[in-house]
Amino acid sequence: MKRSVVFAAIGCIALGAIGWGVLQKVRGPALDGYEVVARPLVQTVVATGRVVAVSRAQVGSPVTGVVVERRVQEGDAVQPGDVLAVLRADDLEAAVREAEAALAQLQQSTQPQAQAALREAEARLLQASREVTRRRDLLKRQLIARETLEQAVQVETVARTAAEQARLAARSLAAGNPNEAAARARVSSARALLAKTTIRAEVAGTVLTRNAEPGDLVQPGRVLFEIARAGATEVLVPLDEKNLEVLAIGQQAMCIADAFPTRPFPAKVTFIAPSVDPQRGSVDIRLTVTPVPTFLRQDMTVSVNVETGRRERAVVVPNDALGAMDGNRAALWVVADGRATRRQVQLGLRGLTQTEVTSGLRAGDWILADAQAAVAEGDRVRVVAGSLPADAGDAATRKELPAKLD
């Protein structure tokens, strides 16, 4: 009796197992899948760039000299006229002293001497003229010979010539005369050249680099400082050329400096290079940063997300569910009434993990997670519901078009 009960129980279990197996075979294999949903979609081009100034000013020395003082360092803000460094140039200082001495000699010695010589010459001329007059009177009274008068006339002629020469010399050395003007010009030129030993900023901005230290000998042509001009700051980003189709001037972007990952800042695309780098297959774009964060520094590495497309409500599917990609068309497995059907769909915005389907699918449909699932048209399948994969925009590279889902 007991043995019959045991056999009966074993038979029931076997029949149940067989029945369960048959039921599972009829229902089909269990495969991962998703319910298609509609949600807001933002597509971004994600890449890495660096901070650049709109322009840089290179500051050098127009004269040769030795650096005696450097007043700025990297990161200092400067305004036009601010002193960056001071040089010592012995030859220029000597030239100034020489020019000033020549001017002083002209004003304090040469000019007074010329005036004294003029007064002396005029006095001699006056005396010679008086002597001629006296001797003419004596000749009229026949008290002297004519030769004596002629001698006096010759002396007067010589005195008049000397006086005229002294007058011309004094006039040429008078204040404001060409000689003094030339001397003053030489002084001004020497002083101006000496003033160039004080190196000043010509533009407002931030000191990026310095190449001058006290004791250095500097010469014309050597760059001593490099200044990033104040004003707009840009982010230079090289992108794969395949992104050109979705890029446009004016697109908004969100940037994150690697050194400050918790402080994102906005930017806008303001330039797209007209040519492609044939070596890298990339195109450079520039984004203007306004306002400029205080922590931003020249040549900082920045991650950039450029918004290239937006849908307020889009039907999206995981990229792994898409197969047989051909341009903007693809195929996926749709599950309806427990059976798998291969369906062609039209694609819209594409992302790194998810893509918009513009036709061929609607919200509420069920799809298989794997486009390469081992099923055939019409096979029965059971969908094991899963959640749509999280956006992986942060893992995108400059050669990818990630879609960011809100």
Q: Sheet of 65-70: strands edge to edge?
A: 198-200, 83-88, 65-70, 217-218
How far is the C-alpha of 108 from the C-alpha of 102, rounded, in Å? 10
β-pairing verdict for 301-318 and 354-359? antiparallel
Q: Give residue 390's pLDDT.
A: 58
Domain ranges of the chain: 29-54+231-406, 56-88+197-229, 91-194
Percent of the chain with pLDDT over 70: 81
For residue 387, how many other CB atoms are within 10 A of its CB? 7
Per-residue pLDDT tens over the stretch 366-382: 888 888 888 888 888 88
**Least confident among 39-43, 106-110, 151-155:** 106-110
Note whether 29-54+231-406 and 56-88+197-229 share their fold: no
The pLDDT of residue 99 is 82
Secondary structure string (H, E, C) spanning 117-136: HHHHHHHHHHHHHHHHHHHH
Q: What is the DSSP letter of 244?
A: G
pLDDT band at 301 (very low <50, low <70, confident <90, very high): very high
The CATH-assigned architecture of domain 56-88+197-229 is Beta Barrel (2.40)
List the strands of the sheet with 223-229, edge to edge. 56-60, 223-229, 205-210, 77-78
DSSP notation for 247-302 = --TT-EEEEEETT-TT--EEEEEEEE-SS-BTTTTEEEEEEEESSPPTT--TT-EE
DSSP 243: G
CATH superfamily of 29-54+231-406: Efflux pump adaptor protein, beta barrel domain (2.40.30.170)
CA 189 to chain centroid:
36
**How confident is residue 171, by pLDDT bands cut at 50, 70 and 90?**
low
Beta carbons within 8 Å of 114's beta carbon, 6+ residues apart: 166, 169, 170, 172, 173
Q: Which residues contact 25 (CB under 8 A, 6 or more apart)?
A: none
- Check pLDDT > 90 for residue 401: no
